[in-house]
Structure 1
Amino acid sequence: MAFKIIEANGKAQIVSPYNPEFVDKIKKMGGRWDSAAKVWTVDPRNVEMVRQAMREVYGQDDRPADLVSVKVTMLSSKSEGRGPVVMLGRTIASAWGRDSGARIGEGVVFVEGGADSGGSVKNWETVVTKGSVIIIHDVPRALAEANPEGLTLEILAEETPNLAALQEERERLLARVAEIDAILAG
């Protein structure tokens, strides 16, 4: 997830992923959406309040954070009327109408199950099905550990590089570089 706060032209420009709760909060700070630049603009004196809102909604702000991947198991379906399904500050899936289907959010993987759209034409919804197993990447560790939504989740261990394989690849590449050097010198 990209978070940036840039001060330019007497305004603070805010870059963040879409989240309806954040939209609500930033509008209450006088935030205006600049569709051309795809940023929120606010008075620069409100930057610390914007950072606080980011931490409340996303679990992080524009400063570096300890990020983890989590596995969420859906014990029941979760739906959101006329909007995206959001968990741990991340858009999991979003639909645009009853028959639109659902688009999976950035950094989200459905290992089992899936998401769809449903409801009626006027009251459509985004639905994540019961039994879905979802991997959500780049979740702030503090938010995952706090688990404010009471999700059935597991923080996944970071994959450590296979040092033997890396050493083997390094030796192979160095041998190839030596071959190329010999051809060029020859």
Structure 2
Amino acid sequence: MHAKRLDGRWRGQEIGWVFEPGRGDALRALCLRIWGVDGTPDAVTDCVELRIEADYTDIRSAVWIAHDAPVYLVGREIAASLRNGRAARPGRGVKFLSGKPGCKTELHHKVTSIPHGSVFLLKDTPRMAVEHFERALHGHGRCQVLSAA
């Protein structure tokens, strides 16, 4: 886990992760790499809604397919398989406009996927992270900023 590599200590749900004061720069770099934000309070107060279209043009990496795990994009859960392995649900703040997440079982493993051409809204996305989403979607889809959240 990334936080442990930075000597972080988990202090429970109410407090979260705790780090030594000298780890601020490394922690900000980690937040930028995963979520596209620097971890400051301002980064999460200026939010927008994104419209994202899934595309399978670049088949070298499977952005829209996950094995025994949810589908993530820039640290956001887009979809996850239900425990019964028969269906998948959208992640928090995700609304599918066309297409829907799917789940199938292959050799006792759940495969969660977003079909090619699916369109979904991603609510409460930090404006600071939009460029990170655009880079992550290169060859895998399109991203459009719709409005301030």
Do these two structures clear the TM 0.5 threshold for a shared fold by scoring above it? yes
| 1:69 equivalent in alignment to 2:49 | yes
Asked if the contact 2:47–2:148 (Cα under 8 Å) also holds between the matched residues in 1, the reply is: no
| 1:125 equivalent in alignment to 2:125 | no
Letter in 1 for 2:51: K
Asked if the contact 1:93–1:102 (Cα under 8 Å) also holds between the matched residues in 2, the reply is: yes
- CA–CA distance in structure 1, aligned partners of residues 135 and 112 of structure 2: 21
Matches within 5 A, 1:118-157: 118-120=104-106, 122-146=108-132, 147-149=134-136, 150=138, 151-157=141-147
Matches within 5 A, 1:41-120: 41-60=18-37, 61-65=39-43, 66-76=46-56, 78-95=64-81, 99-120=85-106
- Tell me which of the two structures has the higher relative contact order, counting C-alpha pairs closer than 8 angstroms and 6 or more residues apart: 2
- CA–CA distance in structure 2, aligned partners of residues 34 and 121 of structure 1: 38
- CA–CA distance in structure 1, aligned partners of residues 83 and 107 of structure 2: 7
Task: Report Cα offsets for 1:52-82 as digits up to 9, x if no partner.
Answer: 2112211111321232111011123811112
Cα distance change, pair 30–103 in 1 and its aligned pair in 2 (3 A):
farther
Asked if the contact 2:97–2:119 (Cα under 8 Å) also holds between the matched residues in 1, the reply is: yes
Paired residue secondary structure (2:31): helix
- Which one has the bigger helix percentage? 1
- CA–CA distance in structure 1, aligned partners of residues 8 and 108 of structure 2: 29
Question: What is the aligned-residue identity percentage?
Answer: 24
- CA–CA distance in structure 2, aligned partners of residues 83 and 31 of structure 1: 24
- Matched with 2:8 is 31
Letter in 1 for 2:6: M
Letter in 1 for 2:40: D
Q: How many residues align?
A: 136
Gaps of 5+ in 2: 57-62
- CA–CA distance in structure 1, aligned partners of residues 129 and 13 of structure 2: 32
TM-score (norm 1): 0.61
Asked if the contact 2:90–2:101 (Cα under 8 Å) also holds between the matched residues in 1, the reply is: yes
Based on CA coordinates, which of the two structures has the bigger radius of gyration? 1
Deviation at 1:113, TM superposition (A): 1.0
Letter in 2 for 1:62: T
Asked if the contact 2:82–2:89 (Cα under 8 Å) also holds between the matched residues in 1, the reply is: no
TM-score (norm 2): 0.74
Cα distance change, pair 98–33 in 1 and its aligned pair in 2 (3 A):
farther
Gaps of 5+ in 1: 1-23, 160-186
Letter in 2 for 1:128: I
Letter in 1 for 2:123: H
